[in-house]
Chain A
Amino acid sequence: MKNQLLFYFLMACTVFSCSENASISTQADDFFHLEEEGAYLPLWVRGNTASGKILLYVQGGPGLNTLDMAIVDYLGWEETLEKDYAVAYYDQRGTGNAQGDFDWESVSLDQYIKDLRKMVQLLRDQYPNNEIYLLGHSFGGWLTYLYALEYQGNTQIEGIIAANAPFTTDNNEIRWKFRHEFLVNISQEFVEQGKDTEFWSEALQWTQDHPEIIDIEEKRQWNRYVIRGLEEYQVEVPLSAGKIIKGVFFSSYNIFPSLLDVERLDKVADRLFEDEKGIDVLSQVNEINLPILLITGRYDDIAPPEEFNFAFDQIGSSQKELKILPDAGHDSFLNQPELFREAVRGFVED
């Protein structure tokens, strides 16, 4: 009798929890959880699954939330990319609404790649007739490079779209060679255009006085130039009160662990930065053999085109494209939404 009651109780809870099925539609809105290593990672598939193509968005940061961005449509893809294809959003371990009782040891690059792999497999299982593309931004794009290297020959995806995703990290000294070149080029460009001439002339002179960026003070000075000089390309999308209220009170989201615990997100980022040490993607890009689209902004100081040009030549894939978007910074899809959409469509439809 006692067991029967427990059984009915659990059944009621399961029914109450609501099950959703994958839908093939031009306006899909499907929600899943991936149970992996103690965590329940939420996965939200939105948009045009009838297109037969799903873009699995891999968040950057590291340590940024994803689902909250999707709820308020921060990226603005609800009326653009999601009309063309489906976009799948998931909260990475330790961020957003990833639930469960998992430990810090599992917040690692290794586990992030495994989580991504299982997200791909879950999508392939739920949407067997859809092609899966990884769409990674910044650190998320860097993760997609690692994914391609880790699962060479069995990636189970059609291709990678890496948006503003550097190939180097702060631990790779070559990064500063590209960054130096970047500052030289944009300084010259702005001086020629007559834009803030005094400032950019000073920056140009500094690059000549410092032909290499080696010590910490030189790195800081480089940062000061690009932060001050490229401020206009940093985009903050204003959110209406309606969107905020919808996100906080009428969505699947709990804002407490995701938005009100910044300290924890910083800790997640620190762990992943620590894990980055010793990884040199740039020296391995010749092993990336699947279709790949690289997108960056002309004025992206984190993923400068100078670095992208170099990496692009090294990539082993015969199906590779590079798009450098004009008047765009590190969030190139916000600076140039239409050009970004065209680039993605061009690649996916090829």
Chain B
Amino acid sequence: MKNLFVFFCLLFFLSGMLQAQEANKGFYLKIAYAGGMITHPGFSVGAGYQLSQWTNTKRNGNIVTQDIRLGINLGTYFHKRMHTGIFITPNIEWIRTSPKGFQFGLNLSGGYLKTFVPNTFKVDGEGLVQKQQGSGTDHFIFMPGLRLGKDLSINGKANMEWFVNNQLMFQSPYFDKTNKYLLTEIGVNFKLQ
């Protein structure tokens, strides 16, 4: 089941890559701080492609750019005493960039999360206590997110973007339905083309 899931993730990623190459769109690499509930530290790295890009010219002559991106993220966060989470998520994102480079985006990620629960013990029927190693749970995750940022390449400062991306992570299975968790990314995208 897990292998099948990884296979589909790769397929999704590769198909995006091929389409991007055909359209000769931009490729970017991402690195970000990924904070669970904002403050519990972690990081994420990722890569992605612009699938499509279009522009609108406003009445005042300003040009607004919009693009759709496909990418994949690998990340971790460390929520002390609760768990350490490691996740891999393909994602799709829509971003609107103003003439001055300010960005607003909406994104959707879905993937796999492994948690490691710290300092875990099991007690058997005889009352014998044993410390467990690598305890934790596997979850499918789904994360809608809202992104704000700035494209620094517009005024020629650097070929990169900075962004803050707030995502609400739905983790399943978790007891009766899903668990929720806030994941905030603060990072940069390096444009490679």
Contact = CB atoms under 8 A, between A and B. Distances in A.
B38 interface: yes
Nearest to B82: A252
Interface stretch (B63-71, B154-162, B169-177): B169-177
Nearest to B174: A101
Interface string B139-179: 00000000000000000000000000000000001111101
Interface string A237-279: 0000000000011101110110010001001000000000000
Residue in A40, A42, A264 whose Cβ sees the most chain B Cβ within 10 Å:
A40
A14 B86 CA distance: 12
Interface residues of A, number: 42
B86 A94 contact: no
Interface stretch (B12-20, B23-31, B90-98, B111-119): B111-119
A13 B174 contact: no
A17 B85 CA distance: 9
B39 A249 contact: yes
Contacts of B177: 264
A256 B179 contact: yes
The prevalent SS among residues of B at the interface is strand
A118 B118 contact: no
A24 interface: no
Interface stretch (B3-11, B52-60, B125-133, B185-193): B125-133
B174 A257 contact: yes
A327 interface: no
B80 interface: yes
A14 B76 CA distance: 13
A248 to B, nearest CB: 7
A36 B135 CA distance: 12
Interface in A275-308: none
Nearest to A31: B81
Interface string A3-41: 000000010011011111000000000011111100010
B38 to A, nearest CB: 6
Query: 9 smallest A-B Cβ distances: which pairs?
Result: A252-B81, A256-B180, A125-B129, A17-B118, A118-B123, A33-B120, A17-B116, A31-B81, A121-B127
Interface of A: 10, 13-14, 16-20, 31-36, 40, 42, 94, 97-104, 118, 121-122, 125-126, 156, 248-250, 252-254, 256-257, 260, 264, 267
19 contacts: A14-B134, A18-B119, A19-B119, A20-B118, A31-B81, A35-B121, A35-B132, A36-B122, A99-B115, A99-B174, A100-B137, A100-B174, A100-B175, A121-B123, A121-B127, A248-B37, A253-B82, A254-B82, A257-B179
